């Protein structure tokens, strides 16, 4: 069971003070958060790609590369790379470079993205949304497979027996599929034999269990060894010394961020009752003291089949010190509890999972 952190490097106004920090400051803070995550023994840190004013990470690979020489063990991944509007050649080169800097700890999490601002920015038509992802994923995997590439598609100039460099330390460079819960994307990941990350940010996490089963059935049908495939969760949350403090600190920025997105997407109002339901044991928010959060992660492993959990923190803008403390508690208290219980549970269920 892998435990880690993901972030979108947000620069929204502080929900309490109204202050807006610079993109530069927030990027430097995230590098510090990655270094701390490595120090406290977490397994993975993911940075998501966005191209709008309230997010500072348009280039996750560069941020991760800044942290690579300052870390020794933690895996470094995008969360996600918006592959539909990117050039797969450049994506591979960037993460192969990150793999060199980190000595084999880079990963790509490829997704279509839930935001669409990158499509007009890079000259793509939203009518081609699905086709772009399928085509570019095909090219990315072809580059991963072979040093010399011959490929032709409908949205990018053809490549005729050209080399793509540098080659990564890892062979193959890990490529995960990030999904919001779309059954087609889950089946695609299974058929390709790629690890899957589900954005479990609403409803009841146990509702995702049928999607995990669907993914594994597709993988088995395609002849892949299901026991070697990982399923991850990207879930919002926050940890403090006590649950009430965690909830009170996390709510203001979460409410602000969710209502901003809600206005853009036509969602209903996000209030304290919505928040408190989501942080209940069956809800999708992982907010509380270390024991509370550990118990919910263990529940997710046992009932949904998640083998990598990524706590998305912060949501909106929170004080950097609070985020650092949450990461410290995740690594020093939550992760050991989860690993111990999950190891015992897996041993007792050997041959049945």
Percentage of the chain beyond pLDDT 70 is 99
Paired strand residues for 242 = none
The mean of the pLDDT values for the chain is: 97
Tokens for 164, please give them. 């793509």
Q: What share of the chain is helix, strand, coil (3-state, %, to 5)?
A: 50, 15, 35
Distance from C-alpha of 189 to C-alpha of 323, rounded to nearest angstrom:
32
Three-class DSSP category at 84: helix
Least confident range from 7-11, 114-118, 168-172, 285-289: namely 114-118
Q: What is the pLDDT of residues 195-249, one digit of tens each?
A: 999 999 999 999 999 999 999 999 999 999 999 999 999 999 999 999 999 999 9
- C-alpha separations of 129 from 86, 111, 178 in Å: 12, 11, 15
pLDDT attached to residue 350: 82
> Among residues 78, 161, 81, which one has the least CA distance to residue 118?
81
Among 48-52, 101-105, 264-268, the minimum mean pLDDT is found in 264-268
According to DSSP, residue 69 is labeled G
Asked if the model's pLDDT at residue 353 lies above 80, the reply is: no
CA angle 152, 157, 163 (to 5 degrees): 75
Residue with tokens 């450049």: 90
Question: Is the distance from CB of 28 to CB of 63 less than 8 angstroms?
Answer: no
Residues 263-289 have a mean pLDDT of 96
**The pLDDT of residue 132 is above 80:** yes
What pTM did the predictor assign?
0.97
**Residue 176: predicted pLDDT:** 98
Model confidence at 14, in pLDDT bands (50, 70, 90)?
very high
Residue 351: pLDDT above 80?
no
């Amino acid at each position: 069971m892998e435990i880690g952190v993901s972030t979108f490097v947000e620069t929204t106004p502080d929900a309490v003070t109204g202050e807006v920090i610079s993109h530069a400051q927030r990027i430097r803070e995230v590098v510090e958060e990655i270094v701390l995550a490595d120090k406290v023994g977490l397994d993975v840190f993911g940075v998501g790609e966005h191209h709008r004013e309230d997010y500072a990470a348009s280039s996750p690979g560069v941020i991760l590369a800044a942290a690579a020489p300052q870390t020794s063990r933690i895996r470094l991944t995008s969360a996600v790379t918006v592959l539909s509007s990117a050039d797969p050649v450049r994506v591979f080169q960037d993460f192969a470079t990150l793999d060199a800097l980190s000595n084999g700890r880079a990963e790509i999490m490829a997704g279509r993205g839930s935001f669409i601002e990158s499509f007009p920015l890079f000259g793509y038509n939203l009518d081609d949304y699905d086709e772009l992802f399928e085509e570019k994923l095909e090219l990315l995997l072809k580059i991963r497979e072979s040093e010399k590439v011959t490929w032709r598609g409908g949205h990018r100039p053809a490549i005729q027996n050209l080399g793509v460099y540098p080659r990564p330390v890892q062979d193959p460079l890990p490529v995960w599929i990030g999904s919001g819960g779309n059954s087609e994307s889950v089946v695609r990941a299974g058929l390709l034999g790629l690890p899957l990350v589900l954005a479990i940010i609403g409803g009841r996490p146990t509702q995702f269990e049928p999607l995990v089963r669907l993914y594994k059935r597709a993988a088995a049908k395609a002849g892949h060894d299901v026991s070697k495939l990982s399923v991850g969760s990207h879930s919002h949350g926050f940890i403090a010394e006590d649950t009430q403090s965690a909830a009170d600190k996390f709510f203001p920025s979460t409410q602000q961020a969710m209502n901003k997105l809600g206005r853009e997407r036509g969602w209903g109002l996000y209030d304290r009752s919505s928040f408190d339901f989501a942080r209940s044991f069956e809800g999708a928010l992982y907010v509380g003291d270390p024991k509370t959060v550990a118990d919910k992660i263990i529940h997710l492993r046992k009932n949904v089949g998640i083998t990598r959990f990524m706590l998305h923190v912060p949501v909106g803008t929170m004080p950097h010190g609070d985020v650092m403390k949450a990461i410290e508690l995740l690594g020093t208290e939550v992760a050991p509890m989860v690993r111990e219980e999950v190891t015992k549970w897996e041993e007792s269920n050997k041959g049945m999972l």
